[in-house]
Structure 1
Amino acid sequence: MEALTQNWSRLTLSDREGPGCNLTNEDCSLEFSIIAKFLTKRVLNIDAIAKTFNPLWRSCNGFKIQNYGDHIILFTFDNKRYDKEVPVGEINFDNASFWVQLHGIPPQYLTLEAALKISNMIGEVFQPKEFKEVDGGNFLWLKVKLDLSLPLCRGHLISLENGKQIWVSFKYQRLPNLCYWCGRLTHDDKDCEIWIDSKGTLKPEDRKFDSSLRLWPSS
Structure 2
Amino acid sequence: MTVQIGRPIGNCMGECIDVTQGQEGECMGRFLRVPVKLDITKPLKRGTKISLPSGQQEWVDFRYERLPDLCYNCKRMGHIMGDFTFVDEVVKSAKDKPYGSFLRVIHDFVKPWSTSPKRARN
Q: How does the TM-score come out when normalised to structure 1?
A: 0.41
Which amino acid is the alignment partner of residue 61 of structure 2?
Answer: S
Are 1:152 and 1:184, in contact at CA under 8 Å, matched by a contact in 2? yes
* CA distance in structure 1 between the partners assigned to 2:66 and 2:54 by the alignment: 36
Q: Does 1:207 align with 2:87?
A: no
For 1:121-175, what per-residue CA distance to the aligned partner results, in whole angstroms no more than 9, with x for missing partners? 11112235x7318833330111111000110011111123444211000000110
Q: Which has the higher strand share?
A: 1
173, 176, 194: which one aligns with 2:68:
176
Which amino acid is the alignment partner of residue 142 of structure 1?
Answer: V
Change (3 A) 1:136 1:152: same
**Structure 2 equivalent of residue 114 of structure 1:** 5
The secondary structure found in structure 1 opposite 2:82 is helix
* CA distance in structure 2 between the partners assigned to 1:210 and 1:112 by the alignment: 28
Q: What is the CA-CA distance between 1:208 and the residue it aligns to? A: 2.7
Identity between Structure 1 and Structure 2 (%): 38
Unaligned residue ranges in structure 2 (runs of 5+)? 110-122
**Structure 1 equivalent of residue 114 of structure 2:** none
Are 1:175 and 1:214, in contact at CA under 8 Å, matched by a contact in 2? yes
Are 1:182 and 1:208, in contact at CA under 8 Å, matched by a contact in 2? no
Please tell me whether Structure 1 or Structure 2 has the larger radius of gyration of its CA atoms: 1
Are 1:183 and 1:208, in contact at CA under 8 Å, matched by a contact in 2? no
Q: CA RMSD in A?
A: 2.7
